[in-house]
């Protein structure tokens, strides 16, 4: 595959930071050109048609080196896996012939001069039946690269030239679109941009094996940033595995169960769920009126004046129960600490997106109240872009921090996190300030300086985390992960 180079709107080869990866954005025209180049090279090596070379490349997920190696070792198997019956017969196959002594195997037509078509397997069908068959496979089943011959259990695949000749134009257009889709889906170094309506694909050569030590964030030409590894929106600096664990944890009902186990108990008599809403340990079930002790769950009448010791149940068992509950409380409290901050930045980012609407009006107002041109007031939009980026980064720092083991490195990470958080709040405050004619020059300079500072602090945090992942410096709390 051709050298991917770099998407110059992001960075140049010599300017790449530790938290950045090389990638290139591909247009549909680029994808068609790449397919043709790949097939042409196989044609030159083995002297076969473009259609056959393309079919074999699809079977090998567009891995040219793997195809060459396999074809040299066992050409018959490669052809069979690609659905090619006979490479020489297929290449010299006639187009459409009138029916002479054969019947269509679908409609059994025997009318004279009915146009027929057959692959090298010689399963002959009239063009009209072939047309309907292809339309069903393309439009209803969404197939393209693996449309097999209509013959019963025939493994041969209908190649692209045959589809172009036999299918309706509207079916062939969708067929080509599906082929383009499958080219990216089957390609290990390409992925479609997940933004709604986007037609671009991104090529990135970061292997799956590197996802434990890097977050391959790419940016499409449509402006959408996403992780090439898992397809989620940009979640730097949290690696894919921890991101998925965190999202699953946030959605899992286990946290609700933890809260219930910490804050509620079952009535010993009727098994109703009871929540303690006061300080007194003397509990009365509203359903069955049973009176019991919240600490040991024993009958309240047996406690007398020394109820707070719970002597009848033994100090050891009572202490174990309290220790278990305290452990659950501590675990829940720790989770809520990180989750609340994660959710807060997520909500703030959504609210900051609303700033774009306000910013447009503020830019117009600033232009009217000062001598600044429309280009010169664009710093407000840049500031909002930076603010939203920082909110999303901070959001994921709390997901990562939840899994980090305590230590000096974690302390340094939290210091960088704190610096970025403080600077982000300061920038947010500056963007909310009212516009007064006299203060506009000073406010503009403050916002410019703070935007640059916030962006630099974000990059420092991302680069430091990326370097730590690459060097294996970070240690994760495996008890939380497992």
Q: What is the pLDDT of residue 254?
A: 57
pLDDT tens string 261-289: 666 777 878 777 777 665 566 788 888 88
Burial class (CB in 10 A: 0-12, 13-18, 19+), 100: exposed
State yes or no: pLDDT of 137 exceeds 60.
Answer: yes
* Percent with pLDDT over 70 in the chain: 82
For this structure, is 288 an active site residue?
no
Question: pTM for this one?
Answer: 0.75
* Percent with pLDDT over 90 in the chain: 40
State yes or no: pLDDT of 306 exceeds 90.
Answer: no
Instruction: Compare 456 and 290 and report the one with higher pLDDT.
Output: 456
Give me the mean pLDDT over the 183-193 stretch: 91
State yes or no: pLDDT of 312 exceeds 60.
Answer: no
Q: What is the pLDDT of residue 11?
A: 37
Peptide bond into 19 cis (omega under 30): no
State yes or no: pLDDT of 139 exceeds 50.
Answer: yes
Q: What is the pLDDT of residue 260?
A: 66
Instruction: Compare 440 and 226 and report the one with higher pLDDT.
Output: 226
Integer angstrom CA distances of residue 272 from 253, 275, 285, 293, 301:
20, 10, 8, 15, 20
Banded pLDDT at 259 (limits 50, 70, 90): low
Give me the mean pLDDT over the 327-339 stretch: 80
State yes or no: pLDDT of 340 exceeds 50.
Answer: yes
Distance CA 273, CA 332 (A): 19
Instruction: Compare 104 and 143 and report the one with higher pLDDT.
Output: 143
Banded pLDDT at 381 (limits 50, 70, 90): confident
Catalytic residue, candidates 126, 250, 280, 418: 280
Q: Give me the sign of the Cα torsion angle 303, 305, 308, 313.
A: negative
State yes or no: pLDDT of 481 exceeds 80.
Answer: no
pLDDT tens string 81-94: 888 876 665 554 54
pLDDT tens string 1-26: 444 433 333 334 446 788 899 999 99
State yes or no: pLDDT of 220 exceeds 90.
Answer: yes
pLDDT tens string 193-218: 999 999 999 999 999 889 999 999 99
For the chain, the three-class secondary structure string (H helix, E strand, C coil) is CCCCCCCCCCCCHHHCCCCCCCEEEECHHHHHHHHHHHHHHHHHHHCCCHHHHHHHHHHCCCCHHHHHHHHHHCHHHHHHHHCCCCHHHHHCCCCCEECCCCCCCCCCCCCCCCEEEECCCCCEEEHHHHHHHHHHHHHHCCCCCCCECCCCCCCCECCHHHHHHHCCHHHHHHHHHHHHHHHHHCCCCEEECCCCCCCCEEEECCCHHHCCCCCCEEECCCCCEEECCCCCECCCCCCHHHHHHHHHHHHCCHHHHHHHHHHEEECCCCCCEEECCCCCCEEECCCCCCEEECCCCCEHHHCHHHHHHCHHHCHHHHHHHHHHHHHHHHHHHHHHHHHHHHHHHHHHHHHHHCHHHHHHHHHHHHHHHCCCCCCHHHHHHHHHHHHHHHHHHHHHHHHHHHHECCCHHHHHHHHHHHHHHHHHHHHHHHHCCCCCHHHHHHHHHHHHHHHHHHHHHHHHHHHHHHHHHHHCCCCECHHHHC
- Most confident stretch, 152-161, 316-325, 473-482: 152-161
Q: Which residues pair with 274 in a beta bridge?
A: 265
Give the Cβ contact number of residue 396 at 10 Å.
24
State yes or no: pLDDT of 319 exceeds 50.
Answer: yes
pLDDT tens string 395-454: 999 999 999 998 899 999 999 999 999 999 999 888 888 777 777 788 889 989 999 999
| Domains (range + CATH), the chain | 93-167 (3.30.40.10), 254-322 (no CATH), 335-481 (1.20.120.1750)
Average pLDDT, the chain: 82
Distance CA 448, CA 451 (A): 5
Give me the mean pLDDT over the 168-196 stretch: 93
Distance CA 170, CA 172 (A): 5
Lowest-pLDDT range of 110-119, 122-131, 195-204, 363-372: 363-372
The set of residues, in sequence order, having a beta carbon less than 8 Å from that of 273 and lying 6+ positions away, is 260, 264, 265, 266
Burial class (CB in 10 A: 0-12, 13-18, 19+), 374: exposed
Banded pLDDT at 32 (limits 50, 70, 90): very high
């Amino acid at each position: 595959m051709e050298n991917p180079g770099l998407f110059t709107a992001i960075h140049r080869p010599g300017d790449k930071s530790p938290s950045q990866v090389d990638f290139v954005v591909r247009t549909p025209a680029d994808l068609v050109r790449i397919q043709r180049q790949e097939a042409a090279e196989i044609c030159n090596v083995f002297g076969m048609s473009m259609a056959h070379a393309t079919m074999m490349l699809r079977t090998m997920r567009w891995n040219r080196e793997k195809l060459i190696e396999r074809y040299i070792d066992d050409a018959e198997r490669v052809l069979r896996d690609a659905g090619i019956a006979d490479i020489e017969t297929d290449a010299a196959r006639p187009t459409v012939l009138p029916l002479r002594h054969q019947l269509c195997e679908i409609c059994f037509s025997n009318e004279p001069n009915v146009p027929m078509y057959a692959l090298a397997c010689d399963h002959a069908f009239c063009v009209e039946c072939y047309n309907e068959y292809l339309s069903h496979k393309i439009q209803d089943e969404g197939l393209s690269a693996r449309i097999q011959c209509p013959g019963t259990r025939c493994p041969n695949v209908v190649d692209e030239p045959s589809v172009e000749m036999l299918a309706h134009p509207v079916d062939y257009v969708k067929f080509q679109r599906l082929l383009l889709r499958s080219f990216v889906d089957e390609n290990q170094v390409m992925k479609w941009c997940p933004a709604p309506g986007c037609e671009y694909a991104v090529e990135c050569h970061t292997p799956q094996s590197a996802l434990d030590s890097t977050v391959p964030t790419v940016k499409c030409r449509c402006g959408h940033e996403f992780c090439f590894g898992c397809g989620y929106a940009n979640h730097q600096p949290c690696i894919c595995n921890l991101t998925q664990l965190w999202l699953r944890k946030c959605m899992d009902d286990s946290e609700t169960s933890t809260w219930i186990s910490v804050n509620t108990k079952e009535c010993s008599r009727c098994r109703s769920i009871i929540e303690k809403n006061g300080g007194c340990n003397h509990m009365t079930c509203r359903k069955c009126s049973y009176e019991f002790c919240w600490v040991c769950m024993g009958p309240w009448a047996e406690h007398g004046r020394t109820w707070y010791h719970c002597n009848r149940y033994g100090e050891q068992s009572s202490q174990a129960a309290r220790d278990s509950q305290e452990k659950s409380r501590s675990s829940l409290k720790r989770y809520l600490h990180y989750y609340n901050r994660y959710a807060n930045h997520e909500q703030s980012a959504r609210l900051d997106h609303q700033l774009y609407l306000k910013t447009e009006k503020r830019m117009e107002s600033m232009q009217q109240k000062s001598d600044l041109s429309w280009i010169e007031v664009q710093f407000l939009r840049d500031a909002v872009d930076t603010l939203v980026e920082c909110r999303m980064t901070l959001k994921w720092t709390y997901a990562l921090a939840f899994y980090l083991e305590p230590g000096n490195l974690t302390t340094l990470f939290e210091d960088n996190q704190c610096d970025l958080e403080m600077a982000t709040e300061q920038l947010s405050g500056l963007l909310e300030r009212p516009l007064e004619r006299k203060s506009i020059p000073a406010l503009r300079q403050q916002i410019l300086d703070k935007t640059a500072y916030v962006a630099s602090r974000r990059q420092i945090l991302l680069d430091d985390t990326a370097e730590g992942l690459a060097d294996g410096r970070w240690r994760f709390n495996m008890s939380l992960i497992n």
